[in-house]
Amino acid sequence: AGAAAVACGLLLAAAHQGRSRRGGMKRLAPKARGGEEHTKTLAPHDEWIRTLNLGAFGKEVNALGQRLQSEQGPQDQAHLRKMVLWSRFCAVVGLATMWLPPNPLSVVFLSLWTHSAWTMMGHHVQHGGYNRTDDTGRYSSRGFAQGSLRRRLFDWFDWMLPEAWNVEHNQLHHYRLGEDADPDLLERNAATWKGSQRYTMPFLSMLLWKWAYYAPNTYKEMKVSEMARKGKPLPDGFDPAAPLTLAELMQGKAKGIFSLGEFLTRCIGPYVLWRFLVLPLPLALIGGPPMFLNALYNLLLADVLSNIHGFIVIVTNHAGNDLYRFQAGCKPKSPTFYLRAITSSANFATGGNVTDFLHGWLNYQIEHHCWPDLSMLSYQRGQPELKALCEKHGVPYVQENVFVRLKKTMDIAMGHTKMRVYPADLERQEDAMVWNNERVRALVS
């Protein structure tokens, strides 16, 4: 997904031509686009754009991120070790009790172990949040959970292949946030659901999205990226922007990209064998089939709960009728990049390790998208300051209870509401860019 940028206003100009035919225009303050004069009729919820000095705002957000980065040190590493200890405590409790008949204690702690290992350790370490503070290299993005099955097993073992998740999440999602090229854009992905699917699929997705959607789709993004680097053409009729589910993979819709056998062998197969066979197997030797089956049932229920937990705190980060979508690419770390990170993301309740642990640190999604490579502790420190900056400049900063966000997410998934669309002709031209995989499409447009 990463590619050299080219300055390009093609997409923005095309959108401007389509919109400029509308009447009833009002004068827009020159500073709203960094000094360029423009006229535009704005919806009431977009009026904040009229007075925004985007250049000044972006400069302050960047400076805050630089300061937070410079303040990272031993405290951040100690905080990471504490969170790892909490995660492993959940593992010990869950594994030590899973021989019992299916019970809430085992299920909850096994689920929290899985959830925290992904959303806190795997997530922030692979973004490079501890590259500057970890002298041992144990929590470095350069090798954590990657390169071998052994590293994956000991660092972060989940349904997704870490290398594939890096491509889909760290690159595509973070740097194409809210665009059609964002693979995690729920509104676009849910548009394929028709009729009763609009109401059944959102709830079904909560139960199995990690293995039925996220694992195959992240793997698809990795394979497409590999083919692009090698200059290999995609098969005729294959849409790389369309989400790929396990069911579609089984139907052969990834033919020419990768096979079901490859996906099972390299991605989810090892996890299934370890999680649901190897882990409970010793109990079969101790207590026979009853203990093994009890453990298996607890592990399966924990997996379902982990899917639900993940859906509630992850999918809800970027969906809602108060968040924005965008129509073209922008330069990383530009004022537009920071603005999109804030206005296309939502935070939940923040503050305190217990609250943040239960949210998997995904309650700092605005800060994380502004500065992806900071530590968890840095997000705790920086959140009040970034929120104050947004209030100072009049930029919407969305922070609500996670279950309020869940309702708004479901409304988007079911087609009851729509996300806001940022006016393309009000984008800051100097921040525009076209990624390599979009260049041809832009020229055709």
Instruction: Express the helix, strand and coil content of the chain in percent, nearest 5 each.
Output: 60, 5, 35
Cα separation, 389 vs 386, in Å, equals 5
What is residue 28's three-state secondary structure? Answer: strand
What is the sign, positive or negative, of the torsion defined by CA atoms of 215, 216, 222, 226?
positive
The answer to whether 177 and 341 are in contact (CB under 8 A) is yes
Structure tokens at 41: 């009729």
Higher pLDDT, 11 or 293: 293
Share of the chain above pLDDT 90, in %: 84
| Residue 212 confidence (pLDDT) above 80 | yes
Asked if residue 331 has pLDDT above 80, the reply is yes
| pLDDT value of residue 297 | 98
Q: What is the rounded average pLDDT of the residues 196-225?
A: 95
What pLDDT is stored for residue 41 in this prediction? 83
Confidence (pLDDT) at 437: 60
Least confident of 15-29, 67-81, 251-265: 15-29
Average pLDDT, the chain: 90
Lowest mean pLDDT among 14-23, 66-75, 344-353: 14-23
Q: Find the angle CA(145)-CA(172)-CA(216) to the nearest 5 degrees.
A: 60
User: 58 versus 445: which is more confidently predicted?
Assistant: 58
H or E element in which residue 114 lies: helix 104-116
What is residue 434's predicted lDDT score, i.e. its pLDDT? 86
DSSP state of 325: E
Residue corresponding to tokens 């923040």 = 350
Q: How far is residue 24's CA from residue 9's CA, in Å, rounded to a whole number?
A: 25
Backbone angles phi, psi at 420, to 5 degrees: -75, 145
Nearest CA to 442 among 101, 4, 7? 7
| pLDDT greater than 50 at residue 241 | yes
The string of DSSP codes covering 398-428 is -B--HHHHHHHHHHHHTTSS--EE--GGGS-
Amino acid in the structure at residue 345: S
DSSP line for 117-180: IIIIIIHHHHTTTTTTT-TTSTT-TTTTT-SSHHHHHHH--SSS-HHHHIIIIIIIIHHSTTST
**Backbone dihedral region of 419: left (phi > 0), alpha (psi from -120 to 50 degrees) or beta?**
beta
Question: Residue 266 is encoded by which pair of tokens?
Answer: 């390299």
Mean of the pLDDT values across residues 228-249? Answer: 92
Question: What tokens does 192 get?
Answer: 């394929």
Q: Check whether 73 has a pLDDT greater than 70.
A: yes
